[in-house]
Each structure stands twice: as C-alpha cells, then as structure tokens.
C-alpha cells in the first residue's frame, strides 16, 4: 500500500492553471485517484522539493512544457472515504497560475492525454471535482480557499 493511500495526515499537492491563447492545459489522469478524469497538471512534491520545484517538474512530466510560475490562485482539498468510512485519500491542493514558455503539449508521466481547452468548454468534460471548483472560481474571479470535496467510494 502506498503512503498516499490511507494516509495518516493530509498530503500537500500542487496544480498548475496554465493559460495560453488556446485555453488552459488539461490532462486526462492515468492513475487513481480519479483515473480517466480530466484535471489540471500537478502532483505531490518529493521530500526534497519545494512546492515550486514540484510544480515545474510535474508540469514538464505531464504536459511536456516549461512554465513561469505566477501567484497562488486557490487552495482546495480532496477527501475520499472508502466503504468502511476510512480516509482513502486526503490531498490539500495549492493551485498556481502559470504562463507557458512553449505551447506544444505532450502527455507523459501520470497523464494519458494533454490538451488546450477553453475553460468554459472544459466544464463540459468529466473533471476531477477539485479542477471543477478551480475552473468555476476562475470564471467568477474568486480565489483563496475554495473548500473541500468529499467523495465516498468503495474500498
């Protein structure tokens, strides 16, 4: 069992809202939690990385581009509970606005697909709940702490 599954404490994670004239960068997740859903690129810092270093690495791995990191856009939480009422996953996700230094996306790492898409059109995709929160906040000009998404799933 990985340390990410059934954690003793919430796990810090980062995500990137990368904007271009073509829209925002989205990935289709290849691994749990929520494999097959669309999300912003991102992930968990390695023990030796800062949040910014982790974000730069994850964006490069998942969409194949370098970015310039801007401000913190939002903080969300993802909490998944199994059928025995145990915490299966708990992530605190810090989303940064980012400027792409190139535009040709290439899926890699945990991502099985990478696209640019208008944020309004993206809301029509099967998004991770936290990505949906971030995009709705972006479109309404809201930021800061956006809340916790609680999901109940099987063990």
Residues noted as catalytic: 113
Contacts of 121 (CB under 8 A, 6+ apart): 23
Q: How far apart are CA 114 and CA 95, in angstroms?
A: 18
Residue 32, Cβ neighbours under 10 Å: how many?
15
Backbone angles phi, psi at 24, to 5 degrees: -115, 150
Q: How far apart are CA 87 and CA 118, in angstroms?
A: 34
> Nearest to residue 27, comparing CAs of 124, 112, 123?
112
């Amino acid at each position: 069992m990985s340390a990410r599954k059934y954690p003793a404490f919430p796990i810090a994670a980062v995500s990137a809202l990368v904007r271009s004239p073509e829209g925002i960068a989205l990935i289709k997740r290849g691994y749990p939690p929520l494999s097959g859903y669309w999300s912003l690129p991102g992930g968990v810092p390695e023990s030796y990385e800062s949040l910014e270093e982790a974000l730069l690495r994850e964006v490069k791995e998942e969409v194949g581009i370098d970015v310039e990191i801007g401000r913190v856009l939002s903080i969300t939480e993802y909490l998944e509970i199994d059928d025995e009422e145990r915490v299966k996953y708990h992530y605190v996700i810090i989303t940064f606005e980012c400027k792409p230094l190139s535009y040709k996306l290439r899926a890699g790492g945990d991502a099985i697909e990478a696209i640019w898409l208008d944020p309004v059109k993206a809301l029509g995709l099967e998004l991770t709940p936290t990505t949906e929160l971030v995009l709705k906040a972006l479109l309404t000009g809201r930021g800061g702490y956006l809340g916790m998404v609680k999901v109940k799933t099987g063990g």
